[in-house]
Every structure is written in C-alpha cells, then in structure tokens.
Structure 1
C-alpha cells in the first residue's frame, strides 16, 4: 500500500506527528509525506499542483492521511481526479470545508464545491478525527465534514488541533485506527 500524508497550514513534512507516523507505517507500506509549497502563505493552485506532481497514481492501494488545511486540499484533489477503482481509504484530522473565523485568509481554499457523492463512494474506509477543544477548527466543522462524507467520526475530549505544541509529536490513536481497517485484497 502507498500511504500519502498531507500536512496543513504553516506546517511542513517534519512537523507534528507526520515523521513519527511515517516511520511506524513504513514497516509494511510505502509512505510519502507530501511537501506543499509556501505553507505560511498557501495557494490552492500551487498545493493542488504539488499533489498532482507527488501522487503519481491513485488506485486500490492508495491511502491518504491529511491534517487541517491539507484535508480540504486532498478532498479537492480527489474530487477532481480520475479514479477508476475504489481507493484504500482516507483519514482526515481536524478537517473543515467552511470558513474559519480566525483564519479568513484561507477562504480561497473553499471557493470550489467538492463532489461529496464521489468522495463518499471512492472508498469504504473514511475516518474523520476531531477534538472538542480544537482552538483553530471548531469541532462542529469537522463533524459536519464527516457527515457530508458519510465518514466514521471520532471525537476526542482533549487534543487541541493535534499539533506538536498540543503534545502531538506522535499519534497512537490514528495509527490504531489505521490498523483496524480491513482492506480488501
């Protein structure tokens, strides 16, 4: 399986729990952390181009894990991609598809409508993780995204925005949820 990890706003491939997760998943999978340009001043077209460049093909062995702004970027990419067969799945952490009151500068990522029917049908393995004390993405937005995708929603009481400063240099819950998935062979 090829797993792609997509970081969010103001992050990098080395940030938060991404490297830890890559190391854990590489024991049995090929793992790529997508390097998105100008994360401090992200541009939706540049991020989409980076996804197209770094994700060579999408098939039944493709699995995606995204965080925050990386979620909407991934969903837009998948929504616009030609997908011939169901993918292995995706896990979205602190995802959103509505304007964030504290980060209006990211609204340009929300201008295009997503094909939710397609995003729902391209896999049976959809998990969205949120936190009641997320101070960047209100948990209700993450929950609504999960609903639109018909995804399994996991809500933690405490987790913040799942950043290193919130104590997330590793993410055992995410790893555990990934390992619970029964993939079709």
Structure 2
C-alpha cells in the first residue's frame, strides 16, 4: 500500500484518514486540506485501501486493524463515505488496543433497509452500546451531497444518539475539498483532552 512515512516528533497528534470507495486520488485533496488546516502539530496518515474496485469489508477491516496496530499513541480517526462506514463498523466489532481520541465521519452512506441495502456493511442493531461510551463521535453531511442522500445522516443520528451531528448546507459529497469545519472540531477536542 502506498503511504509516505513522515518523521514524527513527540508532540504530533496522529490522524488516520480512511478514504471512500474508489476515491483514493479524489479524497487525497481532503487529506491534504486537513493537514494544511490542522498544521504541523498533527500528522495526517492517508493509506491507500485495498481493492478499491472490488470492495470487501473484510479486506478493508484488516487494513484498518493493521494501520491502527502500527500506531504508538492515541489516534484521531477520520473516514469519508464508504471508508467511514467501514471504519465505524470495524470499531464497533473489533477489539482495538490503541486509544482513540475521536471519530470524525464525513458523508457516510447508511447501510440497511432504511438506506442502501448492502448487508456486508450493515452495523449491528445495538451499535451505540458497542462503541466506547466516552468516544467523541462526530458526523458531517452536506444537504447538497450528490452521491449519498442527506437523509442518511438522520438514520445515523437515530442509531447513535451520543454523536454530534453537523448538517452543512453546501459542499457536496467532497465538501468542496475543504475540511476546515472538521479540523476546527479536532482542535477543540484536542484542547479539551491534551
């Protein structure tokens, strides 16, 4: 997998960004913007996920688990679209040893009969109880998302009442390649929990 190693200093906050389906190159603009807005105190890692054209939950889950195992300190997790929904499913079903400082999910499709009916990506019915109760959880979705219906956000809000929900008026599925609203919340979180 393509990943550029970056030398870290002890003060860097680790951010792991999981891209959407078939969107490594397209989502790279989001990862670069996030790194720019967060600044040098953060290190955004952006691995290419396997088999973008033949998406299998198990392969992506294994890659996420591998990426997390390589980290040595608390991590901020961010996922876009399908990558975010797989990240959420993985965290609700797997034992993860690295501390997670926050989970930030952008333009997620909801999987199930109420959303997109693909059982491979569906969350368990009691997913809210499967996530750590103290985990800061944020969702972002644009009303003008041209790929994932805005109504999917409400389905997540119902299933995960502990989440902070951000309804954005514009930005489309790619948030106009501007994640400043997400970066602001990450910085606020890090200010509360240094």
What TM-score comes out, normalization by structure 2 length?
0.77
Deviation of residue 103 (structure 1)?
Answer: 7.0
- Give the alignment partner of residue 65 of structure 1, picking from 71, 74, 78: 78
Number of residue-to-residue matches in the alignment: 178
Contact 1:100 1:137 in 2 (8 A): no
Distance of 2:137 and 2:123 partners within structure 1: 21
Corresponding residue of 2:174? 162
Structure 1 residues 63-106: Cα deviation after superposition (integer angstroms, max 9, x where no partner):
101100011110122112324686211110011332599976xx
- 2:113 and 2:55 map into 1 onto residues whose CA distance is 15
Matched, 1:132 2:143: yes
Shift of 1:111: 4.5
Q: Paired residue for 2:9?
A: none
Q: Distance in 2 between matches of 1:148 and 1:101?
A: 12
In structure 2, stretches of 5+ residues that fail to align are 1-12
What is the Cα deviation at residue 128 of structure 1? 0.4
The verdict on how the C-alpha distance between 1:7 and 1:48 changes in structure 2, with shifts beyond 3 A counting, is same
SS at 2:16 equivalent: strand
State the SS of the aligned residue for 2:100: coil
* Residue in structure 1 matched with residue 52 of structure 2 by the alignment: 39
State TM-score, norm by structure 1: 0.80
1:49 corresponds to 2:62 = yes
Does the 8 A contact of 1:22 with 1:33 survive in 2?
A: no
RMSD, aligned CA: 2.8
- Mark the CA change 1:111 to 1:145 in structure 2 (over 3 Å): closer, same or farther: closer
Q: Residue 186 of structure 2 corresponds to which residue in structure 1?
A: 178
